Amino acid sequence: MREFSWAQIGAARTTIAPFVHRTPVFTCSTLDERCCGHVFLKCENLQRTGSFKFRGAVNAVASLTPDQRKRGVYAHSSGNHAQALALAARLHRIPAYVVMPEDSNKAKIDATRSYGAAVTFCRPTDDDRRATAARVGAETGAVFVHPHDDLRVIAGQGTAVCELIDEVADLDLILAPVGGGGLLAGTVVAAKHLVPAARVIGCEPSGADDAFRSIQRGERITDFTPNTIADGLRTSLGEKTFSIIRESVDEVVVVAEEEILPAMRFVWERTKLVIEPSSAVAVAPLLTRQIDVTDLRVGVILTGGNTDLSRLAPMQGPLP
């Protein structure tokens, strides 16, 4: 996609540096033994607001003109972008309005409100999210910040893998979850610039596999209703993100729903890192050997750690 390049990610690194945490990279010998590779976990679950989404949101808000800041910002989000935009707006002392599906993770709803955003609920469909957001925008006059299909957001998300590559040299493979595609799009552009030989693979839950099906079909799928435990991935690809992903990502793999919570539990127990189901989608293919990483150096973006524990009774049972 010609309108997006490494230069925007490089500029975003400078813009967001005063606001974001430089998150650590963890390793796990048990995970390495299970997949026969060398895995490096980029811990965006330890980012401000508990997810990588803060990178893109604060880059977008910091890029607003003075007049736009006076009007405030709005968005629709199942939770992580909602929290991220709310905090980014608070740090810049502007109002934020967020539309969230009524079945959103309660922890994410509470956090979004705690950062000062006004929350409006909608039905859990893409059509109703967009319609409700349009109404909120018309009522408030605020500036829309798309959760993923905004080049400023994509650039901000791409900075996570830059930090990973700074710390871990010579990666052979990079795995990132894909929902709306902002993280994967930013990751692939940054990775192909910094480590051209590395393969980049998107990981997607079977209950929301529109990226995989869109690539197979050759056109973006928008008419679908996601049904996945990975609530942060319950959204469709954007036009901009699909264009970047289709052009540059090496592969998208689909992860079975029943593999997600065991992978999350594995990370919790073996690394003591609290991650959410969306993060586990990029770990599961390593544990199940769906992707062969024998003797490879593998980077994994752990996207977030905002988990509603009351929903996770299915975590009972054997590890994968």
Q: Is the pTM of this model over 0.85?
A: yes
Is 243 considered catalytic here? no
Same fold? 6-51+151-315, 54-144 = yes
CATH placement of domain 54-144 = 3.40.50.1100
Annotated active-site residue in 42, 51, 53, 236: 53
Annotated active-site residue in 78, 236, 278, 279: 78
For residue range 268-278, list pLDDT tens digits in order. 999 999 999 99
For residue range 43-100, list pLDDT tens digits in order. 999 999 999 999 999 999 999 999 999 999 999 987 889 999 999 999 999 999 999 9
Higher pLDDT, 122 or 78: 122
Q: Which residue has the tokens 């590779």?
A: 37
Is 78 considered catalytic here? yes
Sequence-ordered list of residues with C-beta below 8 angstroms from that of 155, at least 6 positions apart, any chain: 4, 8, 9, 11, 12, 56, 59, 186
**How do the domains of the chain map onto residue ranges?**
6-51+151-315, 54-144
Residues shown for the chain: 320
Domain topology for 6-51+151-315: Rossmann fold (3.40.50)
